[in-house]
């Protein structure tokens, strides 16, 4: 990792405001996992949901050198956008990195608009959801963007189990959302069993879930993973 990146724990919660370095709010093991994923996948078209202060966006840009990387966040991000665009230009990716603030990941129509304008008919190689960590908005993002992946492309959902209370720590139960993000993971697993070719591979560790897109035809406008838990065929 370049010397001007700092993973979670290096600086106790923040990077340099307005400086040239970026704070990546991920553990080193997570970053190493992305290094390996990028080496294997060689993604050219990336859609990132949730970018905090831009560290992950620039890290992904430097690792992949993509043709297009789109990052969205619910916050307006005016200053972050300026920093990210300045750094992207400095590394020769000024036209490749696009930042959109004030975008709700649960706004499926807006995600579709951005994807259509930025990628056109080209399929995505990688989607990373490190955004709300809530079931409903994450489900809407997945429904819109997973069908836009190419076969063999990867959809990563970060921090999938955060809504579960570890045994012996019941005092933290008030932080658990009404519907944890893990429900979406279960729905994806069940849909993959019901719809052959939906997912070529699904793997999970203690932090992230990675779903590799299969060959099944899926429609971005009509796809709903929650409707595929029985025996009905996917919309095409």
Residue 232, exposed/middle/buried by CB under 10 A (0-12, 13-18, 19+)?
Answer: exposed
- Alpha carbon distance 32, 164 (integer Å): 25
Q: Quote the Cα angle for 167-170-171, to 5°.
A: 145
pLDDT attached to residue 170: 59
State how many domains the chain has: 1
Range of the domain at 199: 26-161+169-227
What is the total residue count of the chain?
Answer: 236
pLDDT attached to residue 230: 75
Considering the entire predicted model, what is its pTM?
Answer: 0.88
Q: Is residue 143 part of a domain?
A: yes
- Alpha carbon distance 230, 236 (integer Å): 17
- Alpha carbon distance 125, 228 (integer Å): 23
Q: Is residue 236 part of a domain?
A: no
Q: Is residue 9 part of a domain?
A: no
Q: Is residue 156 part of a domain?
A: yes
- Alpha carbon distance 54, 207 (integer Å): 20
The 8-class DSSP code of residue 8 comes to T
Q: Is residue 89 part of a domain?
A: yes
Q: Using CA of residue 158, residue 131, residue 38, residue 192, what is the dihedral sign? A: positive
pLDDT attached to residue 10: 41
Q: Is residue 18 part of a domain?
A: no
Contact 34, 46 (CB under 8 A): no
Of 11, 3, 2, 27, which is closest to residue 207 (Cα–Cα)?
27
Which are the contacts of 58, defined by CB distance < 8 A and separation ≥ 6? 5, 22, 84, 87, 88, 97
The 8-class DSSP code of residue 195 comes to S
For 73, the 3-state DSSP assignment is: coil
pLDDT attached to residue 234: 54
210 bridge partner residues: 156, 203
Q: For residue 86, what is the domain's CATH number?
A: 3.40.50.150
pLDDT attached to residue 66: 98
Q: Is residue 1 part of a domain?
A: no
CA 166 to mean position of chain CA atoms:
25
Which are the contacts of 75, defined by CB distance < 8 A and separation ≥ 6? 101, 102
pLDDT attached to residue 131: 94
| Tens of pLDDT, residue by residue, the chain (236 residues) | 443 444 544 443 344 444 568 888 888 899 999 999 999 999 999 999 999 889 999 999 999 999 999 999 999 988 899 999 999 999 999 999 999 999 999 999 999 999 999 999 999 999 999 999 899 999 999 999 999 999 999 999 999 988 776 666 655 556 556 788 999 999 999 999 999 999 999 999 988 999 999 999 999 889 999 999 875 555 55
Q: Is residue 154 part of a domain?
A: yes
Q: What is the DSSP string of 31-43?
A: HHHHHHHHHHH--
């Amino acid at each position: 990792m370049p010397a001007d990146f700092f993973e979670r724990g290096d600086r106790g919660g923040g990077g340099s405001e307005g400086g040239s370095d970026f704070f990546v709010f991920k553990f080193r093991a997570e970053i190493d996992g992305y290094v390996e994923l990028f080496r294997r996948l060689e993604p050219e078209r990336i859609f990132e949901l949730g970018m905090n202060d831009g560290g992950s966006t620039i890290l992904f840009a430097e690792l992949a050198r993509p043709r297009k990387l789109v990052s969205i966040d619910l916050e307006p991000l005016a200053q972050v956008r300026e920093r990210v665009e300045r750094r992207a230009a400095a590394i020769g990716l000024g036209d490749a990195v696009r930042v959109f603030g004030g975008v709700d990941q649960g706004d499926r129509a807006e995600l579709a608009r951005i994807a259509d304008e930025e990628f056109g008919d080209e399929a995505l190689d990688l989607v990373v959801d490190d955004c709300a960590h809530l079931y409903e908005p994450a489900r809407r993002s997945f429904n819109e963007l997973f069908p836009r992946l190419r076969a063999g492309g990867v959809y990563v959902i970060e921090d999938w189990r955060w809504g579960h209370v570890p045994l012996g720590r019941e005092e933290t139960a008030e932080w658990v959302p009404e519907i944890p993000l893990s429900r979406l993971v279960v729905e994806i697993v069940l849909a993959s069993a019901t719809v052959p070719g939906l997912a070529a591979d699904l793997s999970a560790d203690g932090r992230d879930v990675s779903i590799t897109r299969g060959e099944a035809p899926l429609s971005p406008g009509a796809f709903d993973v929650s409707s595929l838990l029985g025996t009905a065929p996917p919309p095409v």
